[in-house]
Amino acid sequence: MAKDSRHSAHPVCRAVAKSHKKVATTVDARLWSMSDDEVAEALVEATRLRARVEALELRLAAEADRRAVGDKVGATDTASWWGHETRQDRPAAKRRMRLAESLDRHAPTAAALAEGAISTDHARVITECVDRLPDDLPDPTILERAEKHLLHEAVDLDPRSLAILAKHVLTVVAPEIGEERDARALEREEQEARANAWLTMAPDGKGSYRGKFSIPTMQGAMLKKMLLAFAAPKHQASKPADKDQHEAVERRPSPERMGDAFCELIERLPAHKLPQLGGLNASIIVLLDFTGLKSDVGRAVLETGEPISASLARRMACEAGLIPAVLGSRSELLDLGRTARLFNGAQRLGLVVTQRVCTAVGCDWPAHLCHTHHDDSWLNGGKTDMKNARLLCPKHHARIHDPRFEPTIHPDNQVTFHMRT
């Protein structure tokens, strides 16, 4: 066996190198003269070729593992050796090695990959699904039938759709036992997802928090629905029934829109209904300097010590998520904003009836999604009564508190904004 693996000229590798060279030379020489159809055809062909080369690679990896090639040179295992030798990420090399080992036990899938009929992603879905099936099945042919069924479907489906189908494979190939097994597998999956749910978040030091999470499918779908309700109400409301098919397709809100909706959801959660933290409800307290409040340059500090602008504090004071604590010049507590700051249910109902939509000119956000703004800020002594109240959508509510804009209230109670100079 050749010593230097990098420059070995094993007949198998030589054959691959030769056929690749032939294809590559042809493409290089002809690329600019190829027609669109030829480019498209060659691209599809090259993708199939990739699957075939990967099949070969995985067969060799399985063989190398069987021979413990890695151990012999002192590596932890063959996957680590392979990763190091070919500069792959360690986890990626391990994942490929697992697939190689699994393909070794699933000849039909290995053959389909070797023909270029499926990709390695398809192969991974199929082998993982078949390996996951219970080993106490009454009929030993069920495993074979499951693999065959998935291979058949893989021709028309992308790996993600195939993975969804794979969840119910037993129901299809062995309905007499499948339904019950599938149901139990689903239960197990739900329990695991719930037990393994996690969330991390941390300030990035540049004015944002960043985070990631993993939650079960159902709660994920619930969250998505809530966010969509904030992200696209106008779109849904203004969608006429008789528009053509193309128009009726639900537009997907951008990540920015969804981020906006997430902020809105958090601001709208009724903090007084959440579990208490240390005897207080989960509202965040914001400390405001009384003298700074009157000016736009004033600053406010969250109870966590993080600063926010006075205009944001004023906007938040219109709604429930935050308790403003107004401090005097010697940091004594002058006022701790409580419920009198917020409009009650009857008042809100009255506003919904009289104002119906956002009161910014030209805006049609429905009342139930609007904030209730104090024309004269509560922090400046404004009263919480109907004369001082107006409905504004989140965007226009932010604008009316934005020092860069000058609001004008017209006789019909509608408001317009223009940039301050």
Q: How far apart are the first and last CA of the chain?
A: 80
Q: Is 393 in the site for Zn ion (CB under 5 A)?
A: yes
Least distance CB 316 / Zn ion (angstroms): 8
Listed residue (346, 385, 352, 354) closest to 371, CA to CA: 352
Q: Say how far apart CA 393 and CA 371 lie, in whole Å.
A: 6
Least distance CB 392 / Zn ion (angstroms): 6
CB-based contact 210:204 (threshold 8 Å): yes
- Residue 163 or 318: the one with the smaller Cβ distance to Zn ion is 318
Q: What is the CA radius of gyration of the chain?
A: 32
Least distance CB 266 / Zn ion (angstroms): 17
Least distance CB 119 / Zn ion (angstroms): 48
Least distance CB 319 / Zn ion (angstroms): 8
Among 124, 341, 373, 390, binds Zn ion (CB under 5 A): 373
Beta bridge partners of 327: 289, 333
Q: Is 396 in the site for Zn ion (CB under 5 A)?
A: yes
Listed residue (313, 281, 280) closest to 296, CA to CA: 313
Q: Residue 343, Cβ neighbours under 10 Å: how many? A: 23
CA distances from 207 to 26, 265, 394 (A): 54, 19, 20
Q: Say how far apart CA 169 and CA 71 lie, in whole Å.
A: 38
- Residue 116 or 298: the one with the smaller Cβ distance to Zn ion is 298
- Residue 124 or 396: the one with the smaller Cβ distance to Zn ion is 396
Q: Say how far apart CA 355 and CA 413 lie, in whole Å.
A: 9
- Residue 168 or 399: the one with the smaller Cβ distance to Zn ion is 399
Q: Is 129 in the site for Zn ion (CB under 5 A)?
A: no
Size of the residue set binding Zn ion (CB under 5 A): 8
Q: Residue 338, Cβ neighbours under 10 Å: how many? A: 9
- DSSP reduced 3-state for 40: helix
Least distance CB 364 / Zn ion (angstroms): 8
- Residue 34 or 363: the one with the smaller Cβ distance to Zn ion is 363
- Residue 38 or 406: the one with the smaller Cβ distance to Zn ion is 406
Q: Is 363 in the site for Zn ion (CB under 5 A)?
A: yes
- Residue 80 or 347: the one with the smaller Cβ distance to Zn ion is 347
Amino acid at 89: D
Q: Say how far apart CA 148 and CA 231 lie, in whole Å.
A: 43
Least distance CB 312 / Zn ion (angstroms): 11
Q: Is 360 in the site for Zn ion (CB under 5 A)?
A: yes
- Residue 341 or 373: the one with the smaller Cβ distance to Zn ion is 373
Least distance CB 393 / Zn ion (angstroms): 3
Q: Say how far apart CA 414 and CA 372 lie, in whole Å.
A: 14
Stretch that binds Zn ion, among 9-17, 204-212, 316-324, 336-344 (CB under 5 A): 316-324
Least distance CB 286 / Zn ion (angstroms): 14
Q: Say how far apart CA 126 and CA 148 lie, in whole Å.
A: 9
Q: 29 to 58, contacts with Zn ion by CB under 5 A?
A: none
Q: 63 to 82, contacts with Zn ion by CB under 5 A?
A: none
Q: Say how far apart CA 333 and CA 286 lie, in whole Å.
A: 12
Among 358, 367, 369, 389, binds Zn ion (CB under 5 A): 358
Among 318, 323, 342, 367, binds Zn ion (CB under 5 A): 318
DSSP string, 177-188: HHHHHHHHHHHH
Q: Say how far apart CA 361 and CA 373 lie, in whole Å.
A: 16
Query: How do strand 284-289 and strand 322-327 relate by DSSP bridges?
Result: parallel
* Cβ partners under 8 Å of residue 234, min gap 6: 364, 365
- Residue 261 or 318: the one with the smaller Cβ distance to Zn ion is 318
Least distance CB 377 / Zn ion (angstroms): 7
- Residue 64 or 360: the one with the smaller Cβ distance to Zn ion is 360
- Residue 197 or 237: the one with the smaller Cβ distance to Zn ion is 237
Contact pattern for Zn ion over residues 260 through 299, marking x by CB under 5 A = ----------------------------------------
Stretch that binds Zn ion, among 122-130, 150-158, 339-347, 365-373 (CB under 5 A): 365-373
Least distance CB 234 / Zn ion (angstroms): 10
Q: Which string of b and e fits 8-33 if b means at least 16 CB within 10 Å?
A: eeeeeeeebeeeeeeeeeeeeeeeee
Residues making contact with Zn ion (CB under 5 A) = 318, 358, 360, 363, 365, 373, 393, 396
